[in-house]
């Protein structure tokens, strides 16, 4: 205690000085002893007052919310001030560190792709991240202290939240604003009955699940018909004695059903391959002209002279992407044009590069056309406007969804325009980044007819 000796010395010296001064003053009135006592007392009182003033300065400094520089003292008071300040600074540091940790922790929760809500024992919102705010349509700051069940009233959600303990499974509910489907999991934590609510947007997953279910149902349905027909014929063949003509007719019908199943499987495999493979490279160029020649040959074979086919290339060009995928997309469109255009109808297939550099492949027919209300759903799997016509002409209901997949994988889009009874136009638009102009004039020239 280095302050103790100076403090005692100051006390003794102060008292002594008071005694000496008091004795000197007492000489005057002839009472030196009394003067000495009064002087010593006055010295002690003066020192006590000084101490009180210093103590007040220290207390005032401690009382202030922002501790600035501490009062300058010496001796005992300097030691006291120093100790107090040190403790304060240590506390301040510890608090700052804790606040920083808390802020980092909250930032981490905010960065979570899942919604996180903390509820108190009464189910009132204590804290929530931005994702939770979006999921539940709440404002974590404004709605702090509100009961979550007052803001989100979906009965399934309210029941789930009010369950005792930790439910084993999350509940899947529509979000209050109805835009998403949420999977919500509740966890109780701590010993004060606090609740952690974790929400996840499962809209896409639910949609995919529904699509998968529909898809399986559709495929089963598509397979069932030809299989039923085939098994019926097999039974007929094995039970009934048929004439040669009848036998040939049955075999022909069986052949048709087999072809139908093969076409379905081919399209299903094509779709699976499109979904499972990476996007076609953007630096692998496919020349448009040979592609169109191939499409033309296939179209002519399918039409077998029943239609008036025209191919028109404004200028040569290359498309960055997969030749086989592009061939299948354009081939499907031309195939549809042939199948949905009555004999004698006209089909025009053209390629052009727009001024903005994008490429356009148009397949225009004068066929049966499509009612406007069907257009948005046309590229869905197994969507058919006229099922019997589609099946009679060998359609699987998957052609346009393959086309859409292919064009989207090439960064482009499909546009459909049609008028019932007049005809349809299917347009594939490829982005400029995947199109390159070829300077030499294509051999397949404007109004180059099939013959
Ligand atoms: P499908 O194998 O049945 O032809 P698609 O996916 O190719 O299946 O086409 C979906 C539906 O769109 C067809 O069933 C048909 O009703 C309609 N469609 C497609 N192309 C044409 C077209 N060029 N003219 C009229 N209708 C068409």
Torsion angle in degrees (nearest 10) through CA of 329, 335, 338, 339: -120
* pLDDT tens per residue across span 372-396: 999 999 999 999 998 888 878 888 9
pLDDT of residue 439: 67
Q: Which residues line ligand 1 (CB under 6 A)?
A: 336-337, 340, 365, 367-370, 378, 383-386, 390, 395-401, 424
Identify the residue with better confidence: 330 or 225.
330
Residue 174, strand partner residues: 181
Q: What is the overall mean pLDDT for the chain?
A: 90
Whether 362 contacts 429, CB under 8 Å: no
Give the pair of three-digit tokens for residue 170: 């999350």
pLDDT of residue 232: 93
Q: Is 58 helix (H, G, I), strand (E, B) or coil?
A: helix
What's the 288 CA to ligand 1 centre distance in angstroms? 24
Q: Which atom of ligand 1 lies closest to the CA of 390?
A: 3
Whether 382 contacts 397, CB under 8 Å: yes
Cβ atoms within 10 Å of 28's Cβ, excluding its own: 9
Cα dist from 451 to 193, 307, 310, 335, whole Å:
83, 12, 9, 19
> What domains are defined for the chain?
4-90 (no CATH), 113-201 (3.30.450.20), 208-276 (1.10.287.130), 285-449 (3.30.565.10)
Say yes or no to pLDDT of 152 above 50.
yes
pLDDT of residue 100: 95
pLDDT of residue 449: 41
Share of residues in the chain with pLDDT > 90 (%): 67
pLDDT of residue 84: 85
* Arithmetic mean of pLDDT, 322-333: 96
Please tell me the total number of residues recorded for the chain in this structure. 451
* pLDDT tens per residue across span 50-76: 889 988 988 888 888 677 788 877 778
Give the pair of three-digit tokens for residue 121: 């024992």
Could you tell me which of 26, 24, 43 has the C-alpha nearest to residue 35? 26
Give the pair of three-digit tokens for residue 145: 């202290």
Residue 147, strand partner residues: 124
pLDDT of residue 241: 87
Say yes or no to pLDDT of 128 above 80.
yes
What's the 384 CA to ligand 1 centre distance in angstroms? 6
Give the pair of three-digit tokens for residue 232: 């019926």
Share of residues in the chain with pLDDT > 70 (%): 97
From atom 14 of ligand 1, which residue's Cα is the shortest distance away?
Answer: 384
pLDDT of residue 443: 61
Q: Which atom of ligand 1 lies closest to the CA of 369?
A: 25
Q: Which atom of ligand 1 lies closest to the CA of 385?
A: 16
Q: Which atom of ligand 1 lies closest to the CA of 367?
A: 24
Strand pairing category for 346-353 and 308-313? parallel
* Arithmetic mean of pLDDT, 440-448: 54
Work out the pLDDT band at 440, boundaries 50, 70, 90.
low
What's the 370 CA to ligand 1 centre distance in angstroms? 9
* pLDDT tens per residue across span 3-50: 788 888 888 999 999 999 999 988 888 888 889 999 999 999 998 998
Say yes or no to pLDDT of 448 above 60.
no
* Arithmetic mean of pLDDT, 234-256: 90
Identify the residue with better confidence: 390 or 418.
418
Q: What is the spatial distance between Cα 41 and Cα 44, in angstroms, rounded to a whole number?
A: 5
Say yes or no to pLDDT of 77 above 80.
yes
58-62, 128-132, 254-258, range with the lowest pLDDT: 58-62
Give the pair of three-digit tokens for residue 127: 């804290």
* Arithmetic mean of pLDDT, 199-216: 93
Whether 232 contacts 398, CB under 8 Å: no
Whether 447 contacts 314, CB under 8 Å: no
pTM over 0.75: no
* Arithmetic mean of pLDDT, 279-302: 94
Give the pair of three-digit tokens for residue 378: 């046309």
From atom 23 of ligand 1, which residue's Cα is the shortest distance away?
Answer: 337
């Amino acid at each position: 205690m280095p302050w103790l000796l100076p403090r005692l010395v100051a006390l003794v010296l102060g008292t002594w000085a008071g005694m000496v001064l008091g004795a000197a003053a007492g000489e005057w009135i002839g009472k030196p002893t009394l003067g000495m006592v009064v002087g010593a007392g006055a010295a002690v009182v003066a020192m006590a007052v000084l101490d009180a003033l210093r103590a007040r300065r220290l207390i005032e400094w401690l009382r202030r919310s922002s501790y600035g520089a501490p009062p300058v003292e010496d001796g005992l008071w300097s030691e006291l001030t120093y100790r107090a300040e040190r403790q304060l600074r240590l506390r301040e540091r510890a608090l700052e560190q804790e606040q920083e940790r808390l802020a980092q922790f909250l930032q981490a929760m905010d960065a979570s792709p899942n919604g996180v809500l903390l509820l108190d024992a009464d189910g009132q919102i204590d804290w929530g991240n931005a994702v939770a705010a979006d999921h539940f349509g709440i404002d974590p700051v404004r709605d702090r202290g509100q009961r979550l069940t007052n803001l989100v009233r979906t009965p399934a959600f309210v029941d789930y939240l009010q369950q005792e303990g930790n439910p084993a499974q999350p509940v899947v509910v529509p979000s209050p604003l109805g835009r998403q489907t949420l999977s919500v999991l509740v966890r109780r934590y701590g010993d004060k009955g606090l609740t952690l609510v974790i929400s996840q947007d499962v809209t896409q997953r639910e949609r995919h699940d529904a699509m998968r279910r529909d898809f399986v149902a559709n495929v089963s349905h598509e397979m069932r018909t030809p299989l039923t027909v085939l098994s019926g014929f097999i039974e007929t063949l094995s039970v009934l004695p048929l004439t040669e003509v009848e036998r040939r007719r049955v075999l022909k019908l069986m052949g048709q059903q087999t072809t139908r199943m093969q076409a379905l499987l081919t399209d299903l495999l094509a779709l699976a391959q499109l979904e499972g493979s990476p996007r076609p490279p953007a630096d692998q160029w496919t020349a448009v002209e040979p592609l169109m020649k191939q499409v033309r040959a296939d179209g002519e074979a399918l039409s077998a002279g029943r239609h008036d086919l025209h191919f028109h290339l404004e200028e040569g060009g290359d498309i960055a992407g997969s030749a086989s995928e592009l061939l299948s997309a354009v081939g499907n469109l031309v195939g549809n044009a042939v199948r949905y255009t009555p004999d004698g109808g006209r089909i025009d297939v053209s390629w052009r590069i727009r001024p903005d550099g994008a490429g356009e492949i148009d397949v225009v027919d004068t066929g049966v056309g499509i009612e406007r209300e069907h257009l948005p759903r046309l590229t869905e799997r197994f969507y058919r406007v006229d099922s019997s016509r589609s099946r009679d002409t060998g359609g699987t209901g998957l052609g346009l969804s393959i086309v859409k997949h292919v064009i989207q994988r090439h960064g482009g889009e499909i546009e459909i325009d049609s008028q019932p009874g007049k005809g349809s136009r299917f347009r594939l638009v490829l982005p400029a980044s995947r199109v390159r102009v070829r300077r030499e004039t294509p051999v397949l020239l404007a109004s180059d007819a099939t013959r």
